[in-house]
């Protein structure tokens, strides 16, 4: 009998940190664990080498007439530091009060296990079921999935008959209220550097003669939003799609409380674009955020210089049909256009990812041409979650970015059914990450019902 | 025989960075070096403890009827970072092409050595000369001399019979053209911190809901200058005095070349306040400069956060009769007034110092009541510099700040004769600081002639 919690604990013992080459052994161990697991389940396993970390593909052919589900997940995890803040070893999973504590428990080894265990148990109960499924578990999600897009492009034919992607790597607000995520923001990242004099200057001897690069950078950055927090770059909102009434109604059901949100963040006032609530702004609107700024002397005391240079890191979150390359270029151009003479500016484009948006069936704007199997998948997901969690899911957009979801759509033409199985208190990317085992068990049950229903839908 | 270059190298080996408590040992070493040096010269040494770094006082009583000269200097230096940009160890002095490279070589250990060596050599040549001199070498100049003013106030009687202050801690434009500085800018320093959310936030989940503190800081900073580089703080220019015709004529003799200045600084265009040349702006106008800025992620790659906080360091240079406390308060208030809701701002006032201005003898606006010994000191300085450097000095204001010069005037009633012995290419406060050894040697010769002439003037 497949024991999901024991298997998950086994998986969590491998410190599979993808960003740090010191953890190569942990990455190898995690990959081999998955190979063994899928082999034991009777699936055909292929390990695809990439320039960095291999992709694990596990396939069950089943009946070629049946729907083909692609389950996505990632076996890499965030670094565990600061280690001192963990109450137990991040790579020695411990169960406490119904939660399993370990790095990767919620992101993504736990939620991914819901679908692995569902398939294992379905096949244990009915070994002859012609279930048609492919697991694609990558090792580079936490570093931006650089190898996955080229892999999908080079192996399109392997996925030609896939009907939909199923995954759990998104957030639900509470353990009673599961969210099916129907939109993700895209991203475009820019590094800006302003250069003034060739060295830091004495601000007494030269102050007043030259353009201070920190001043120039601040003037440029300050010009990028107006007083209502609207981004002032021409064309920045191009491709933003309307928010549908049903989306606002669905969001209202969250009963999110601005007062509690402010208290959680520790701010006196929220600052969404005029006309939007903060909960709308983070889901429906693009943003231009300064992730960091630096220049000159930042140490103790004072150093009275005109700095030689200053820098800022910007990331834009994008929505709807926005093209990250086009928007990134517009921001870059606006920054260059606004540079005063007396300083020189360079803007380097970083990584980018497209936004993703799917309208589930039964809404006024649902696409008429949505494939029947995908329509059925959304419907059966709604039903299964309602049965196992006691409440039907909410269909909401989320503010984060999983660029690979847009790639599945643009390269393979596939939409994704994203079932949120981690919660705010699971502390993703932070010390003492954990997975709620009750959510995991209900998730397994829901996934079994979904997979069986999809399979039998024919 | 006193060897000034060897002594200077010895002094430069102590990393006497006053702003950073990690360098306590370097401060102690530098102080002890001076104690030994002055003791060897036969002077009476007193180390005056202060709340931070001790003051070294070295006194030769000489003949109480003779003029009493107070030589001022400082043994503390600026931090050496960024260390990677030095071509040799900043605290292991190296001579190359007639220059001595080390942190503090020009500011102020080299120029201060000109007067120490002058006294040492004068006394070696004539041990019985009743030269009446006091060296006051402090350890807090680079952090605004907080202890020196209270010291002067508490020890007025020790300096009651001093006639004038002699120092070299100012700039000359070339090694042929020495400047006697007759004005210094004052200074007021402010530390600004902007706080937003209580932790760095995921810019996907929360971006668009909160005021980004980097954005708020940039907006405040950008508001502090208009398009002509005029500071937009109410009353910022209060107390600025007129520039005399003789000052403009003297400045014109500099034959300063904007093209060469731009090339030296590595900028395409200069940026003085409209209506002033850059050489006037740095001498006659107050400024508000950003010395540093920081917040969020500044490392390699990207980290997509809304930072919890951001900071900037500001210094204002002030001129004429401007009151640093009053102007600093106005800037502080303007920053607080311009803070948007959604973030919280704190502005901490740092050190401050008044501007200084003296009119040398023989000008239309020279004070009629200037003491005879000071008139003679200016005249003999003009002569000695003409003889040793081949050209008489120019009498100019300088953009830097030595707040203690204004304190000597306001507390002790003393004016200062400031002989510029460092040059633009000496890179004060920057990597690869150096001292021109030919200028040092001529400076020693000039100082000997000045001290002997003052002494013999009776």
Residue A300: its chain B contacts at CB < 8 A?
19-21
Any A CB within 8 A of B171 CB:
yes
User: What's the pLDDT at A143?
Assistant: 87
- Dihedral sign (CA B110, B115, B119, B122): positive
What would the two tokens of residue B209 be? 């809901």
Query: Stretch B348-375: mean pLDDT, rounded?
Result: 94
Measured distance CA(A210)–CA(A200) in Å, rounded: 11
Q: Pull the structure tokens for residue A289.
A: 């955020």
pLDDT > 80? residue B457: no
Which class does domain B186-240+286-353 fall in?
A: alpha beta
Any CB–CB contact under 8 A between B223 and chain A? yes
B119 has a pLDDT exceeding 90: yes
Residue A301 to residue B265, Cβ atoms within 8 A: no
pLDDT tops 80 at residue A457? no
Q: How far apart are CA B141 and CA B404, in angstroms?
A: 8
- pTM recorded for the entire structure: 0.87
**What ranges do the domains of chain A cover?**
4-184+357-457, 186-240+286-353
- Interface list for B 335-394 with A (CB within 8 A): 340-344, 350-351
Q: Could you tell me the pLDDT band of residue B368, with boundaries at 50, 70 and 90?
A: very high
Site from A141, A195, A205, A355 to mutate, B interface, most B CB atoms within 10 angstroms: A205
pLDDT over 70 at A113, yes or no: yes
Q: What is the pLDDT of residues A341-385, one digit of tens each?
A: 999 999 999 989 999 999 999 999 999 999 999 999 999 999 999
What stretch of H or E contains B94? strand B94-96
Q: What is the mean pLDDT of residues B425-449?
A: 96
pLDDT digits (tens, 9 = 90+) for A117-171: 999 999 999 998 889 999 999 999 988 899 999 999 999 999 999 999 999 999 9
Q: What is the pLDDT of residue A458?
A: 63
CB atoms under 10 Å from CB of B362, counted, come to 12
B121-125, B143-147, B150-154, B244-248: the lowest-pLDDT one: B143-147
**Facing residue for A271 by CB, picked from B81, B211, B429:** B211
- Rounded Cα gap, residues A208 and A218, in angstroms: 17
Mean pLDDT of chain A: 95
- Give B458→chain A minimum CA distance, Å: 36
Q: Using an 8 Å Cβ cutoff, are A180 and A381 in contact?
A: yes
Cβ–Cβ of B399/A204 closer than 8 Å? yes
Q: Is B146 on the interface with A (CB under 8 A)?
A: no
Distance of CA A340 to the CA centre of its chain: 37
Under the banding of pLDDT at 50, 70 and 90, the label for residue B295 is: very high
Question: Residues near A410 by Cβ (< 8 Å), separated by ≥ 6?
Answer: A354
Asked if the Cβ–Cβ distance from B313 to A292 is below 8 Å, we say: no
Residue of A107, A207, A262 to mutate, testing the B interface (most B Cβ within 10 Å of its Cβ): A207
What is the topology classification, in CATH, of domain B4-184+356-457? Aminopeptidase (3.40.630)
Query: What average pLDDT does range B381-394 have in this prediction?
Result: 97
Q: How confident is the model at residue A219 (pLDDT cuts 50, 70, 90)?
A: very high
Distance from CA of B422 to the nearest CA of A (A): 12
Q: Quick one: B306 exposed, middle or buried, by C-beta within 10 A (0-12, 13-18, 19+)?
A: buried
Looking at residue B458, its pLDDT comes to: 63
B411 phi and psi angles, rounded to 5 deg: -90, -45
Chain A positions touching B228 (Cβ under 8 A) are: none
More confident residue, A439 or B255: A439
Question: Is A14 within 8 Å of chain B by CB?
Answer: no
Distance from CA of B371 to the nearest CA of A (A): 30
In the structure, how many helices (H) and strands (E) does chain B have? 12, 18
Average pLDDT over residues B413-417: 97
The per-residue pLDDT for A331 is: 98
Number of A to B CB contacts under 8 A, please give it: 317
- Please identify, in words, the CATH class of the domain defined by A4-184+357-457: alpha beta
B82 has pLDDT over 90: no
d(CA A83, CA A431): 7
Residue of A nearest to B315 (CA): A304
Q: How far is A345 from chain B (nearest CA, A)?
A: 12
Sheet containing A434-436: order of strands: A94-96, A99-101, A434-436
Tokens of A261: 């949100």
Q: What is the pLDDT of residues A171-207, one digit of tens each?
A: 999 999 999 999 999 999 999 999 999 999 999 989 9
Residue A324 host element (H or E):
helix A324-337
Percentage of chain A with pLDDT > 70?
Answer: 100
Q: How far is B106 from chain A (nearest CA, A)?
A: 13
Report the gap between the CA of A232 and the closest CA in chain B (Å): 13
When scoring B27, B190, B207, B268 by the number of chain A Cβ atoms within 10 A, the one with the most, hence best to mutate, is: B207
Q: Do B207 and A399 touch (CB under 8 A)?
A: yes
Question: Which position has the token pair 């003679």?
Answer: B376
Nearest to A281 among B189, B203, B209 (CB): B209
For A403, the enclosing helix (H) or strand (E) is helix A403-412
Of A103, A166, A187, A206, the closest CA to residue A358 belongs to: A166
CA distance B259 to A458: 79
pLDDT band of residue B255 (cuts 50, 70, 90) is confident
Chain A nearest-CA residue for B261: A209
Positive or negative torsion for Cα B10, B13, B19, B25 = negative
Label residue A86 by pLDDT band (50, 70, 90): very high
B304 vs A contacts (CB less than 8 Å)? 187, 189, 289, 291, 315
Average pLDDT rounded to a whole number, residues B77-103: 96
Suggest the residue from A227, A291, A342, A400 to mutate for an interface test with chain B (most B CBs closer than 10 A).
A291
- List residues bridging with B47 in a β-sheet: B56
Mean pLDDT of A311-316: 98
d(CA B249, CA B268): 27
What's the CA gap between B225 and B233, in Å, rounded? Answer: 8
The answer to whether residue B305 scores a pLDDT higher than 80 is: yes
Subunit contact B400:A209, Cβ cutoff 8 A: no
- Residue A386, pLDDT > 80, answer yes
Query: Contact B429/A305, CB-based, under 8 Å?
Result: yes
Nearest to A208 among B198, B310, B399 (CB): B399
């Amino acid at each position: 009998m497949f024991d999901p919690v024991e298997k998950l604990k086994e998986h969590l013992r491998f410190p599979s940190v993808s960003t740090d080459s010191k953890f190569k052994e942990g990455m190898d161990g995690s990959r081999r664990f998955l190979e063994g697991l899928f082999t034991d389940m009777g699936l055909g396993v292929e390990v695809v080498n990439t320039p960095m970390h291999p992709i694990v593909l596990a396939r069950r052919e089943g009946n070629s007439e049946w729907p083909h589900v692609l389950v996505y997940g990632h076996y890499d995890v965030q670094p565990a530091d600061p280690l001192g803040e963990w109450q137990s070893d991040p790579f020695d999973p411990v169960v406490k009060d119904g939660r399993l504590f370990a790095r990767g428990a919620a992101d993504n080894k736990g939620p991914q296990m819901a679908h692995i265990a569902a398939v294992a148990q379905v096949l244990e109960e009915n070994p002859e079921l012609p279930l048609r499924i492919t697991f694609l578990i990558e090792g580079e999600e936490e570093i931006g999935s650089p190898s996955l897009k080229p892999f999908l492009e080079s192996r399109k034919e392997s996925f030609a008959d896939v009907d939909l992607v199923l995954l759990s790597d998104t957030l639900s607000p509470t353990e009673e209220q599961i969210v099916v995520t129907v939109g993700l923001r895209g991203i475009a990242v820019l590094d800006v550097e302003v250069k003034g004099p060739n060295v830091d200057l004495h601000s007494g001897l030269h102050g007043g003669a030259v353009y201070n690069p920190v001043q120039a950078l601040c003037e440029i950055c300050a010009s990028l939003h107006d007083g209502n927090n609207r981004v002032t770059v021409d064309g920045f909102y191009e491709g933003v799609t309307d928010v549908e009434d049903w989306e606002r109604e669905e969001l209202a059901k969250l009963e999110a409380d601005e007062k509690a949100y402010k208290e959680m963040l520790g701010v006196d006032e929220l600052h969404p674009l005029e006309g939007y609530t903060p909960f709308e702004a983070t889901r429906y609107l693009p943003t231009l955020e300064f992730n960091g700024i630096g220049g000159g002397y930042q140490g103790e005391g004072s150093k009275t210089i005109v700095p030689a240079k200053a820098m800022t890191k910007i990331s834009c979150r994008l929505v709807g049909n926005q093209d990250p390359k086009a928007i990134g270029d517009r921001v870059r151009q606006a920054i260059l256009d606004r540079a005063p003479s007396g300083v020189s500016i360079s803007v380097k484009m970083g990584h980018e990812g497209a936004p993703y948006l799917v309208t589930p069936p039964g809404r006024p704007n649902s696409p008429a041409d949505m494939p029947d199997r995908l329509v059925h998948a959304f419907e059966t997901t709604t039903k299964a979650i309602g049965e196992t969690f006691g409440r039907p899911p909410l269909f909401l957009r989320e503010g984060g970015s999983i660029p690979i979801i847009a790639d599945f759509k643009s390269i393979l033409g596939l939409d994704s059914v994203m079932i949120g199985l981690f919660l705010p208190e699971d502390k993703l990317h932070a010390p003492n990450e954990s997975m709620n085992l009750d959510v995991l068990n209900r998730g397994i049950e829901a996934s079994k019902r979904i997979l069986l229903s999809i399979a039998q839908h024919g």
